[in-house]
Structure 1
Amino acid sequence: MNRKSAATFIFAGAFAGIAHAAPMKENICSSATNEVEMYQCLKRQLKKADTSLNQSYKVLVARYKDNGAPQAQGAKSQDGYLKEAQIAWIKFRDESCDFETYESITGSGFGTIYTACLLEKTQERVKYLQWYIEHP
């Protein structure tokens, strides 16, 4: 598969992933008519997803604060493990999107494709954290 075909395939897959990633009435950026509009729409959606992610994370950190073994025993509290997991997840998300969008890195649609990847993974993480909020 040549680079142009790969970029087209990834671009189409990224949009399919967006439609699948979030429960929506329809494709969140269906009104976009060109690359610039699609990119701007995805950036707005990513900002919303980041806000949801941060809110969910803060709820869980507060819930698990100092929960667990006494510090004197050398164990971390549950919120400490959550903080480490979140830092690791951010690195994993970014590295995964670097890998998944590599073939399109020199293309004009790279920003859109990369943002779509970040959005999908962030939405998945929000769902994951929300599950813990809903199941204390």
Structure 2
Amino acid sequence: MSIALPLALLLAAQDPAWNCDNPQAQQEMNYCAAQDAERADAELNSVYRTAIERARAADREYAGLADGGGGPSDGGPGEEATLREAQRAWVSFRDAHCRLESFEARGGTMQPMLDSGCKATLTRARTAELRGPNPDCPENPEPAQLMQCLERGLTRADAALNRQWQEALTALPNSAEQLRTAQRAWLAYRDAHCAVAIPAVASVETQNLEGVLCRTRLTEARTRELADLAAMGE
């Protein structure tokens, strides 16, 4: 799943003194965005390995349910195989989607930065998905405990979003009205998406839990998007 960035590495060798805390030239911005994408990818790989181990354990537990250890079978792939299939499909989606998003500056010097920034954002959102429920939640909690824990996570995510929103407005004063329009549209999208993204056949309890998780993941992703916008400035 590693992101190949030979150009970024070449540029780093040419100018190792570039400052990613405050990049100025476009090549410097491209390099720093690529470095951020690499960091996001490294975190994803770590969380993915943990998710694979969980999937293997679930497969072993499932196989041990039947007498003799043969386990019941539905004739399909197990959790590990399904997770690997899903991850391969996600990587293909991410790379194609971000290539398309970068076409806003197709052939220009900004294209690598747009591609890397998109990959960093989607990769961190995928990492949150694979990590699952808030790691601060107790193991094997009662449904009510889990809901309370997840709601606290959503409250923290909303607070972080609001702080980043104010920073974005400060960094982009000339684009404040466009930002407000975009943010209102995003809020409507988040709530509508999470209202329909949960299978109707799930229990009400499961729908409520998944709804909170959905809003938390999208809120965290939006916070990172606003941070990227604020970092670019005007």
TM-score by length of 1: 0.69
Whole-Å separation in 2 of the counterparts to 1:39 and 1:75: 44
Within 5 A, what are the aligned runs for 1:24-63?
A: 29-63=20-54
Query: Higher mean Cα deviation, 80-89 or 107-116?
Result: 107-116
C-alpha deviation, 1:74, in angstroms: 2.1
Whole-Å separation in 2 of the counterparts to 1:91 and 1:31: 32
Structure 1 residue 100 corresponds to structure 2 residue 91? no
Whole-Å separation in 1 of the counterparts to 2:111 and 2:99: 11
Q: Which residue in 1 is equivalent to 2:125?
A: 124
Q: Which residue in 1 is equivalent to 2:166?
A: none
Q: Which residue in 2 is equivalent to 1:82?
A: 83
Q: Could you say what the CA RMSD is over the residues aligned between the two structures, in angstroms?
A: 2.2
Rg comparison, structure with higher value: 2
| Displacement over 6 Å in runs of 4+ | none
Whole-Å separation in 2 of the counterparts to 1:93 and 1:64: 23
C-alpha deviation, 1:30, in angstroms: 4.5
Amino acid at match of 1:125: R
C-alpha deviation, 1:54, in angstroms: 0.5
* Contact 1:101/1:110 (8 A) holds in 2: yes
Whole-Å separation in 2 of the counterparts to 1:41 and 1:106: 19
Q: Secondary structure at the match of 1:83?
A: helix
Distance of aligned partners of 1:132 and 1:89 in 2 relative to their CA distance in 1, 3 Å threshold: farther
Amino acid at match of 1:126: T
C-alpha deviation, 1:71, in angstroms: 8.1
* Contact 1:60/1:133 (8 A) holds in 2: no
C-alpha deviation, 1:72, in angstroms: 5.8
Whole-Å separation in 2 of the counterparts to 1:110 and 1:119: 14
TM-score by length of 2: 0.42
Whole-Å separation in 2 of the counterparts to 1:99 and 1:116: 13
Q: Secondary structure at the match of 2:132?
A: helix
Whole-Å separation in 1 of the counterparts to 2:30 and 2:72: 46
C-alpha deviation, 1:81, in angstroms: 0.8
Gaps of 5+ in 2: 1-19, 64-70, 140-234
Count of residue pairs brought into register by the alignment: 108
Amino acid at match of 2:89: A
Amino acid at match of 1:39: N
Q: Deviations over 1:11-61 (max 9, x none)?
A: xxxxxxxxxxxxxxxxxx541111121111111111111111011111010
Amino acid at match of 1:55: S
Q: Between the two structures, name the one with larger relative contact order (CA 8 Å, sep ≥ 6).
A: 1
Q: Secondary structure at the match of 2:107?
A: coil
Amino acid at match of 1:43: A
* Contact 2:101/2:114 (8 A) holds in 1: no
